[in-house]
Amino acid sequence: MGRIKALLVGIDDYPASVASALGGCANDIAEAGLLLADLAGEQTDLAVLLNGEATVDAVTDAVLRHLGSAGPGDTALLWFSGHGTQEVATGGDLLIEATGLNQALVCVDGPLLDKRLGVLLDRVAAGGAQVTAVLDCCHSGGATREAELTERFAPPRPGWDLDAREVRGPGGPPRHVLLAASRLDEPSYEGWFEGRRHGAFTYALVGAVRAAGPGATCRELLAGAAARVQRAGSTQHPVLFPDLPGGAADRPLLGGPARTAGPHLLRYGTEGWEVDCGAVHGLREGGAQAQGTTFAALDEGPGRGVVRALEVSAARTLVAPVGWEPEPERVYPVGLSEVALPPASVTVDGSPEDARQVAAALGPLLRLVDGAEQARGLHFRVRVRDGRAQVLRRDGTEFTAALPLRGPGDAGRVADCLAHLTRWHQLRDLAPRPSLLDGLVELEILPWGSDEPLRPGASGEIVCVYGSGPRPPWVSIRLHNRSADRTLWCVLLDLTDRYASSSVLFPGHFVGPGCTGHALDGDPVQLSLPASRAAVPGAEARDWLKLIVADRELNTLPFQLPAWDTVAEPRDLGPVLGAAGRWTAVTVPLRTLVP
């Protein structure tokens, strides 16, 4: 662990002209400081701004000077406890604010726009440090605390400038990770905990860190803190952003290398033990349909740490531990170990030993069937000749290049390929039954600079053509929430013909009623062939854009797949089988063609 450069900002004593007073922010900062001292000791270099010290200029300067002195191997941590605010966004701000609102932290003398704070933190990260921000204020998921809990929200005052256009940073994903007290459209709260006033999120997060220890990742800590917040009775929903696998979300809070993220997390919620895998990830919704599905804790060893599914809802599954007693204060990474109905079948055209080796390596998403059995649904033929295995479609064409098959180790690689292809196809073909959310969000693809959406041709595909040169086409992609009163959570997946799936275009965000979400925050999207394909006449690439809409955030890890030809060690990302619930999906086939 390198140095910990920490900036702790807490404001209770707001001037009446700015915001109402709070009572737990200084306590939050004191508790955060004790946590850092216990975990990092002399490696912590701490700066504290309390009440009147925490002006916009002072916070800005401390971020740049104090946190900015962190270098490679160090961790820069900002912890803010106070009010948040928001107001209606206009003009160009609407490209990056899909809720139609701008958010800001409220310093003692006024607002610090969350977009500006993000630019400052990314500037710190450019020096090589790992940068983490913990924001315990209202609407912090874009960046408020009832007499049980007090809301941490300050209404915007006349003269406050919350225009984000002047502070927007360079394109690309943020270089810092955010642990926020609430969604960007929600308040967060403070109340009495063990005889002292605290922010509900700070109290929960500190407890989660102490229970898990310094090696727990931000993803695991956020899941643990969110469960504690809900058990405490608060209605806020803490947020982790960005949450893509392998990045800052999967590093420990106080520094260290990223860990491979488990596909799902087991935690103790308000109704008991639950896993963040539900109908939208493919499990069949309900109770009876869940029978036979199990998850296994990845860190507990083979055959240990198993939980059995009891009831599946849209975004989570209630489970019961089997033969063990998990600790309620911990969060456990888990993977699917059994599924009630295997989604794909495999036949092996080779020797009996070839079939035995492949069958032994198959995971829960696949089953070996006899060649005479009439397989329904997704089916693979594995043809083995001269130590090579071809993975074929029903019509005999190849899915991928042939793989070696000369022993059990090679059989594992073949099984990995089959599992990868299964997950990709189930993602692409995921089609829920009728939902209350059907038709509320419209996906549009437009030539860059045009306001006329592209329409599918007779094949059902949207075709985008290279220009002379050849020059790849550029488009804009937008998501319109046509609902009059629903704020809806959306993620846009790009599934490619190299069997990859990514949510980089629109990673998961709430879109307000009547508002529009823009892929890449309104920047142009280039539709180009993969580097491995020459842009010669007749060359083409296919994508399937899949919009998933829900009424709450979803675990997006099972939606992420690298291209198969770049996979070294595939991860178990869990099932995608198809189900119904309070979510819906739309798929738009897209073909990019060199004429």
Q: Are 431 and 585 in contact (CB under 8 A)?
A: yes
pLDDT confidence bin for 151, thresholds 50/70/90:
low
- pLDDT above 50 (res 123): yes
Cis preceding-peptide flag for 242 (omega within 30 of 0): yes
- pLDDT above 80 (res 202): yes
pLDDT confidence bin for 159, thresholds 50/70/90:
low
- pLDDT above 80 (res 410): yes
Closest CA relative to residue 164, chosen from 89, 60, 110: 89
**What dihedral do alpha carbons 166, 170, 172, 178 form, nearest 10°?**
-60
State the Cα angle at 13 between 8 and 17, rounded to 5°.
120
- In this prediction, residues 161-167 reach a mean pLDDT of 47
- In this prediction, residues 277-306 reach a mean pLDDT of 79
156-160, 231-235, 423-427, 469-473: which has the minimum mean pLDDT?
156-160
Percentage of the chain lying above the pLDDT 70 cut: 87
pLDDT confidence bin for 433, thresholds 50/70/90:
confident
- In this prediction, residues 149-156 reach a mean pLDDT of 58
- In this prediction, residues 524-535 reach a mean pLDDT of 91
Output Rg (C-alpha) for the chain, integer angstroms: 25
Contacts of 316 (CB under 8 A, 6+ apart): 269, 274, 275, 276, 277, 278
Predicted local distance difference test score (pLDDT) of residue 308: 93
Predicted local distance difference test score (pLDDT) of residue 569: 47
pLDDT confidence bin for 286, thresholds 50/70/90:
confident
DSSP string, 354-398: HHHHHHHH--TTEEE--TTS---SEEEEEEEETTEEEEE-TTS-B
Taking the C-alpha atoms of residue 131 and residue 200, their distance in angstroms, rounded to an integer, is 23
Mean pLDDT, the chain, rounded, equals 86
- Decide: helix, strand or coil at residue 156: coil
Distances in whole angstroms, Cα of residue 460 to Cα of each of 104, 180, 341, 456, 547: 44, 41, 31, 5, 17
- What DSSP state is assigned to residue 94? G
pLDDT one-digit tens code per residue, 20-79: 999 999 999 999 999 999 999 999 999 999 999 999 999 999 999 999 999 999 999 999
pTM (two decimals):
0.79
Predicted local distance difference test score (pLDDT) of residue 164: 44
Taking the C-alpha atoms of residue 561 and residue 572, their distance in angstroms, rounded to an integer, is 10
Contacts of 287 (CB under 8 A, 6+ apart): 310, 311, 312
H/E segment holding residue 584: strand 583-593
The beta strand positions in 393-515, using DSSP E, are 403-404, 441-447, 462-465, 474-481, 488-496, 501-511
Laid out side by side, the sheet with 501-511 consists of 462-465, 583-593, 540-550, 488-496, 501-511
Cis preceding-peptide flag for 470 (omega within 30 of 0): yes
Predicted local distance difference test score (pLDDT) of residue 205: 96
Q: Which residue has the higher pLDDT, 547 or 166?
A: 547
Q: Are 465 and 509 in contact (CB under 8 A)?
A: no
pLDDT one-digit tens code per residue, 295-323: 988 876 555 689 999 998 888 999 999 98
The beta strand positions in 405-473, using DSSP E, are 441-447, 462-465
Taking the C-alpha atoms of residue 283 and residue 275, their distance in angstroms, rounded to an integer, is 12
DSSP string, 291-339: TT-EEEETTS-TT-SEEEEEEE-SS-EEEEEES----TT--EEEEEEE-
pLDDT one-digit tens code per residue, 540-582: 999 999 999 998 888 888 888 899 976 554 444 343 333 334 6
Predicted local distance difference test score (pLDDT) of residue 281: 82
- pLDDT above 90 (res 498): yes
Predicted local distance difference test score (pLDDT) of residue 451: 92
Taking the C-alpha atoms of residue 327 and residue 576, their distance in angstroms, rounded to an integer, is 29
- pLDDT above 50 (res 137): yes
Percentage of the chain lying above the pLDDT 90 cut: 57
pLDDT one-digit tens code per residue, 326-343: 999 999 999 888 876 667
Closest CA relative to residue 152, chosen from 162, 139, 141, 133: 139
pLDDT confidence bin for 390, thresholds 50/70/90:
very high
Taking the C-alpha atoms of residue 302 and residue 322, their distance in angstroms, rounded to an integer, is 13
Contacts of 302 (CB under 8 A, 6+ apart): none
pLDDT confidence bin for 148, thresholds 50/70/90:
very low
Q: Which two tokens stand for residue 511?
A: 């879109």
Predicted local distance difference test score (pLDDT) of residue 95: 61
- pLDDT above 60 (res 470): yes
Q: Are 262 and 298 in contact (CB under 8 A)?
A: yes
Predicted local distance difference test score (pLDDT) of residue 573: 39
- What DSSP state is assigned to residue 166? T
